[in-house]
Amino acid sequence: MLKATVTGRIWSTKKLGEVPAGSILEVQVDGTSTTMLVFDPLGCGDGEKVIVATGSVAASWFPGKSPPIDALVIGSIDEASVAAGKKK
């Protein structure tokens, strides 16, 4: 998975009918200049640090027929995490 920071949000009116209703975030992968668009079922906000899963596992998370979604926020990272990791 990737550690990323929410930097924005996009809207799409003209889209495939199979794209699920919900929020599509723009995130920046930490430590890089790479940005991605990610489906967010968790309601994350700008600046929040998130865990992003990519590929077919993102689509398989959805109930029923898998939609054409290849990136999913699977969690928000607790603020204490990095410090705890570094202390060890």
Stretch 10-69 residues interacting with its own copies (CB under 8 A)? 10-16, 18-19, 24, 26, 30-39, 41-42, 45-46, 51, 53-61, 66-69
CA atoms within 13 A on the CB side of 44: 29
CA dihedral defined by 84, 86, 32, 1, rounded to 10 degrees? -50
Number of residues this chain uses to bind its own copies (CB under 8 A):
60
Tokens 């990136």, located at residue: 71
Both tokens of residue 42?
């968790």
Binding site for its own copies (CB under 8 A): 1-3, 7-16, 18-19, 24, 26, 30-39, 41-42, 45-46, 51, 53-61, 66-72, 74-78, 80-82, 84-86, 88
